[in-house]
Amino acid sequence: MSKPNPRLIKMKEYTEKIREIAKRLLNDGIVDMVIGFRKGTLPMMNQPHIATCTDSADELMWDSNCGLNLANYVTDRKEKIGIVAKGCDSRNLVTHVIENKIKRDQLYIIGIPCSGMIDHHKITAMFDTDITSVKESGESITISGNDFSKKLIKQDVLCENCAACTHRNPVEYDELVADLVEEQTDVDPYESVTEIESMDAEEKWNYFEDLISPCIRCYACRNACPLCYCPTCFVDESTPQWVGKSQDPIDVRTFHLLRAFHCAGRCTDCGACERVCPMGIKIREFTKKLNKDCLELYGWEAGLSLDERPPLDTFKTDDPDEFIK
């Protein structure tokens, strides 16, 4: 049997199936809660939703605006949790299990074969006035506001990480809402990294200087990131104070460099950081380089297996060491 074309996925069927599974799990007492998405108050802004009874399970839904990473909401929880997980969420759940932030047997993973999420930054930038509704059917998305309505092709407005995603199917799941989709093989997730690598030091410096210049240090990227679960983040610590809190370019850069390092070998490129950035900064340019290094140096991609330890917490005698003299 051939795998379904990800472009022809029917979101309505996904929604119905998610609700059906959630209600069954809650009724049978298999889980205490189901974490998923519900419709947001603004177009393209679905909210995380924790359903604890069958009534609130009816609010669960699915469409192409479920880009936040739900693994963020299971950290250190003690209950039995049903969780809706697309490819990247499932990889972050695996990372959570590896890092002892949740136990695998506490989780009932409702796997979503994903067809990519749409980029609200990109769509908002296309129109001068406010968007009041975004409807999708199959491959097309209809954007409308007070005095306009325009049809777009979903493939053209995908989030950058989704367009170049090679793990659309969940890696770990207890049940699927639909058949697995075909994985993309003709994409290069590291295209922009290769481009920057070819620049000289001065150009690189300026590239990142421009990239982060709009940053207002709101830390939304950190809050949305499922990897950022430290009880006290290094930016909030005051004794000692690791990094200056000002808008000085050096402080801003220090924050971004350190945040990225904390995600080294753990980032699944889910794009939650970019999605929530109010300034539309391409934050993934930092983490993507580290992902590429991990792949090239250790053959490692985060969150693919429960049985393997990440490269940065293991030592092997043949670890690459060209950097140290």
Partner 1 sequence: MKNFLEHTGIEPGRLHFSWISSAESTKFVDVVKKITHEVKMLDPANKRYVKTEPKVD
User: Which string of x and - marks every residue 196-235 that binds partner 1 (by CB under 8 A)?
Assistant: xx---xxxxxxxxx--------------------------
For residue 33, give the H/E element and its range: strand 33-38
Residue 277: CB minimum distance to partner 1, A: 18
How far apart are CB 276 and partner 1 at their closest, in Å? Answer: 22
Q: How far is the CB of 325 from partner 1 (least distance, A)?
A: 5
* Cis geometry, peptide bond prior to residue 240 (ω within 30 degrees of 0): yes
Query: Using the rule CB under 8 A, which residue among 76, 156, 195, 248 binds partner 1?
Result: 248
Distance, CA of 243 to CA of 251 (rounded, Å): 6
Shortest Cβ 283–partner 1 spacing (Å): 13
> Shortest distance, CB of residue 254 to partner 1, whole angstroms?
10
Q: Looking only at Cα atoms, what is the longest distance across the chain?
A: 65
Q: How many residues bind to partner 1 according to rule CB under 8 A?
A: 29
315 binds partner 1 (CB under 8 A): no
- Assess contact for 60 and 12: CB atoms under 8 A: no
Q: Quick one: which segment of 135-143, 145-153, 245-253, 303-311 binds partner 1 (CB under 8 A)?
A: 245-253
**Residue with smaller CB distance to partner 1, 148 or 205:** 205
Note whether 83 and 112 are within 8 A (CB): no
Residue 37 forms beta bridges with which residues?
Answer: 48, 61
The answer to the question of residue 262 lying near partner 1 (CB under 8 A) is: no
Confirm or reject binding of residue 295 to partner 1 (CB under 8 A): no
246 binds partner 1 (CB under 8 A): yes
For residue 271, CA distances in Å to 78, 277, 282 come to: 27, 10, 9
Of the pair 193, 304, the CB lying nearest partner 1 is at: 193
- Least distance to partner 1 from the beta carbon of 205, Å? 3
The position carrying tokens 């950190």 is 222
Q: CB under 8 Å to 323, separation ≥6 — which residues?
A: none
Residue 310 preceded by cis peptide, ω within 30: no
- Of 182 and 293, which has the nearer Cβ to partner 1? 293
Distances (CA, A) of 172 to 112, 312, 322, 325: 10, 22, 35, 41
Binding site for partner 1 (CB under 8 A): 193, 196-197, 201-209, 244, 246, 248, 250-251, 253, 257, 260-261, 264, 286, 289-290, 293, 323-325
